[in-house]
Structure 1
Amino acid sequence: MFEEYKKELLESYFLKKSQKQLSNNLESPARLKLKKECLKIFRDKYTKSDDEMLKAFFDPLSKFNDHIKSIERFELDKFRPLVNFLQKGTNIRDEESVKLLAWLIDFEPYRNWRCKDDSKGTGVPPGITEGEPEGKSEGTEDPRANEPQVPDQQSGWSSSIKRTMIFCITLFAVAGTGFFLSGESRVGSVREPLSDEKCMYWTGEHYEPIKCDKSIKHADVMPLNLEMLYGLRRINATDTLTKYSLGKVWYSKIRGKHEFFTDSGTHPVEPNKRLKPLTNYILSNYVSYHRYLLTRLVWSIGIGITVAVSIGMVYLFRRKNRLKSRIGSGMI
């Protein structure tokens, strides 16, 4: 099964390559380019569901508690089988390398592909023998066959209401959760600089590559520095910082307000101020993880109440319609 997945993945890679849908790092892959692409993709689209794959490939011995560090310190030679797989079509036995490639080109993860493949069947509903009429067994008469058939005038309306309410519940829950988590995880996306973009500027959250002859209002254009471009980002959801952030986060106090960043150096707007390592004092006095947990709790309770009320309303509509149907059929 995995060989079939690997075949489809490679076909997808060459199709995207022929259609110019790949980045420069993947168009002509090399060991260093793959490492750069991993860092870029991680910063652009990382989700918690990627943890297992990233850890299995970059940190199987659990030496790091930070994916960025595990990628940055990963030995380049370990990318060689994947490079040969893409350049020469050499067979690759390492499943983790194949799963990494799927992540890099936005191909369906293996676990999803496998579940979808396993679910393929004959199309016969479970519990029904193929060829057997669905609904009743041979020789069994439906006891409701002689009952007067009264059209349920409300059934279509009720089904429409239920579908609408379920859709609204799902939309509210997803939109609300997404809105909350967007502020929690958003640190700004960083794109690969083009060949003629030799400068960059600070967007307020991260550095963005730009041509040196262009100017940006309210921003200084400076020479391109790849380390700063990929490494320095402002942390928006500061209340998510914990003691595990010590040694990984830096801060500066600007106009009476503390700002937090993912790397050291100077402040991107106030270059005369250096970014200092996060300390226990700053963490205890200017960051509140309990406030973050309380906010999550309030959101969860709100969504839970909305879902419960909506389900209750659907139940009442169904009960009311069943009662009308029974009255119309003369059963009451």
Structure 2
Amino acid sequence: MPEDYQDIVLAAYKKMRDNGELRTILTGETTTRLKKACLKVYDSRYNPKDADILSMFFEIDRIECDDFRKVIYDSEPDDYKALCNHIKEETGKTSEENTDLLAWLIGFPTQYEWMELSDEEKELIIEKIANGNKTPPVVIGPTNPPILQPKPPREETTYRPRFSQHHIIISCIILLFVGTTFFAIWERDTKMIRMPESGEKFMYWDGDHYEPVKDGEQEPGITIIPLNLQTLKQQRKINLPDTLTSYSIGKVWYKGFVKDHEFFTDSGAYPQDIQRVLKPLTNTILTKYTSNYRYLLTRLVWFICATFFISLCGFAVSKLEKEVKAKDESQQQDKEVGLRLEEEPMVEQTEGSLAI
């Protein structure tokens, strides 16, 4: 071992201890804390090449030992007594094993690595330890940076949504509202009754209402009856019986036999068989042959389907994109960078300053 290696390691330990660099691994100079420090160093930066140091210190064959952490854990505090006395300077010289273990604890080069270093490298290591492993940066005066050539502006193509999400949602709501309103109006809309012209003294049943007609102009097989303006205006067939409610009683008449029931807006003879007379609507007939809940449920299902369809359309529209071309402003940015480089001094950082 080099004659001064032990003194150099001990001096390095003292300097690092005084600088507070060993607080995380060695909080005190006792045998128990030295053992704990060995465990911490082993867990944080153990390297297979450290096996030689540990095997020499604990007097164990490194080939047979495959877990030095267990060896450290099972060791006794008295195993570190000689090293503890050495770092407290209660003894003079100590064994190579103690010095190697101390160098391993503080991260100092081993004695063989130390022998391979040049004098300049040794001085640099000692100087770094003396400075607390900190090397101040060297400031160099301002220099003329290379002139950055301006780059020609170029266009970058990006794709953005054609319509905003906000507008799509509002449009879908408006479309659903307008569509629902028009459907409700169309469903309940009644045809305008054509008033009789001169010479039209008769009328016939045209599916769901009466139509005025002249005698002899009706189609073959069509029954005509004398014109009655009140019946012409008010007599209509209700095509959606499920829209009837309890409020319809007294305002609606019906013709029915078993399950064949038809409902009309005025009393009188049954249009397709004037020998039969329409009967006023009763609660029994209303409950048995109509269902307003069925009508509302059907319209609710239609509304949900319409909402789903419009939502799909809105989702498809939201995926539409438009091409946007933007000019690159790198030329202006290069000019600004060049101005900053001219004003600011360059700082050369050494290995020590990077470690900070």
- TM-score by structure 2 length? 0.42
Q: Which has the higher contact order (CA 8 A, sep 6+)?
A: 2
- TM-score by structure 1 length? 0.44
Greater strand proportion: 2
Structure index of larger Rg: 2
